[in-house]
Chains A and B, each alone.
Chain A
Amino acid sequence: MGKFIKWGMLASGLVLLAVGWYLGLAWAPPDREMGDVQRIMYVHVPLQWMAMVAMTVNFVAAVAYLFKASWKWDSAAEASAEVGLVLGTAGMITGAIWGRPTWGVYWSWDPRLTTEAILLVTYTGYLVLRRFVEDPDKRATWSSVVAIIGAINLPIVWFSVRWWRSLHQVQSTPKTVDPEMVLTLRISAFGMLALAIYFMMVRYQQALAERRAEVALPEALGDAGLPPAHNSSKVA
């Protein structure tokens, strides 16, 4: 069942993205001011949305781990943070490519861009911490705390375009943009969502297998009379 969902997510993600990007390039109208340059929106915006979704999953998994210590939640947190960081970085690069022809610069110190950069550095720090702590129990608890503290940035990034009205446009709504643009954006976003879920599932399985290998090792040597070093009962 899990395998079916996983490959189904990959297939539907690729198909939806292909359709969405085809529509974005060939069917959706060009923007009144930016012209064809605006078509990068169908790549940039889904990337950023799904980065936010993945980082929210990371926050939920971190909180869940503190309530119920299970390697599943820890693995989910690791998987979602990595996927979120990759998507967010890709989103930032596409944003810079969009920024060059429209704003004249790749990077401006606009609040949206600055808060997003802070967010990405925060999650880099989170992943670095995970690499620097060997004890799986401590790693899971500490990184959960760091993830919860870092997640305070998420609403700041999201609302930054409304709090500080600056260069970056505010979120477009179906009321303010062409229906053809909205439909194309939605298809692209769902395609990216399916792809993000696929990435997270693959990474989650790898992370869980890593945890199992880490905590199972002392018990595999159980005949030698060594006590288990870690709480392997958390591997459900």
Chain B
Amino acid sequence: MSLAAPTTPATPATPATPERTRPRAIGVLSATLALLRKDLLIEWRTRARLNAIIFFALATLLMFSFALGPDTKLLEKNAGGYYWLAILFASVLALGESFRVESENACLDGVRLAPADARAIFLSKALGNALLLTALGVILFPVMVGLYGVRIATSPVDLGIILVLGCLALSAPGTVYAAISSNARARDVLLPLLLFPLVIPALLSATKATTLVLQGDPMNQLNSWLGLLSGFNLIYWGVGFLLFPRIIED
């Protein structure tokens, strides 16, 4: 599937001027939206990726309770950490898969040939991954309530903000690294090896913030963890946006 098809105006049969034969350049935002729409459409039609990561994350949550035994107090205390670890492990699957779609039939070349900014590919992939992970987080939460017996102590809105910020934080560096590792040997080893050490600050702050939301925040620490998460997002979305065109160039 190519980006060029739906967004490029059809070439007139007899062009009046040579300029009119050249496809019109597309802005970053509209190219991003077009690519995102394409990715979401593929995802919706197959639903393979979402189903896979949901079952993978559910299995991870279950495994934590098996590994630790039926200690409800311990599970409830550490629920925030398990929740984010499940999302992190599932994110490796989702990220790797997001570029596999493009490597079939050399689709990435088609997308790259479109007269659009290459950074739109980064934005659309990273946004798509963040959306997918956020959906996963929304689905996982009720399961966690059932399995670990957690309750929201402060506000569900806080939890939503943490979820969105955390998924954005995983997907920005993850998309850059997935683009690299999808073309390298041993890609399945490479992506977690590159990604896991990098996202530790994001994982730490998302986990701490989630734990505060679940268990109460008497010292009012939530905002500082959200600040760290936002800073992480700002840095890695910026770096990814700047450097991504260099990764996919030939």
Seen from chain A, the residues whose Cβ lies within 8 Å of a Cβ on chain B are 66, 118, 121-122, 124-126, 128-129, 132-134, 138, 141-142, 144-146, 148-150, 152, 156
Contacts and interface: CB of A to CB of B under 8 A. Distances in A.
A120 to B, nearest CB: 9
B197 A149 contact: no
B103 to A, nearest CB: 14
A150 B189 CA distance: 18
A233 to B, nearest CB: 17
Contacts of A149: 173, 176, 198, 236, 239, 243
B247 interface: yes
Nearest to A144: B246
A132 B185 contact: yes
Interface string B181-195: 101111001100110
Interface of B: 173, 176-177, 180-181, 183-186, 189-190, 193-194, 196-198, 200-201, 235-236, 239, 243, 246-247, 249
Contact of B239 (A141, A142, A152, A156): A152
Residue of A66, A144, A146, A150 most packed against chain B (CB within 10 A): A146
A129 B247 CA distance: 13
The 5 closest A-B pairs by CB, nearest first: A121-B197, A125-B194, A132-B184, A125-B193, A132-B185
Q: Is the interface of A mostly helix, strand, loop or mixed?
A: helix
Nearest to A126: B194
B247 A141 contact: yes
B176 A133 contact: no
Residue of A118, A145, A146 most packed against chain B (CB within 10 A): A145
B122 to A, nearest CB: 11
B194 A129 contact: yes
B246 A141 contact: yes
Contacts of B180: 129, 142, 145-146
Contacts of B183: 133, 138
Contacts of B243: 66, 145, 148-149
Nearest to B191: A125
Contacts of B247: 141-142, 145
Nearest to B199: A118
A133 B239 contact: no
B121 to A, nearest CB: 14
8 contacts: A66-B243, A118-B197, A128-B189, A128-B190, A133-B183, A133-B185, A149-B176, A156-B201
B228 to A, nearest CB: 11
B99 to A, nearest CB: 13
A127 to B, nearest CB: 10
Nearest to A123: B197
A31 to B, nearest CB: 33
Given A128-B193, A148-B239, A149-B176, 13 more contacts: A118-B200, A122-B197, A125-B193, A129-B184, A132-B186, A133-B184, A141-B246, A142-B247, A145-B176, A145-B243, A145-B246, A149-B198, A149-B239
A152 B249 contact: no
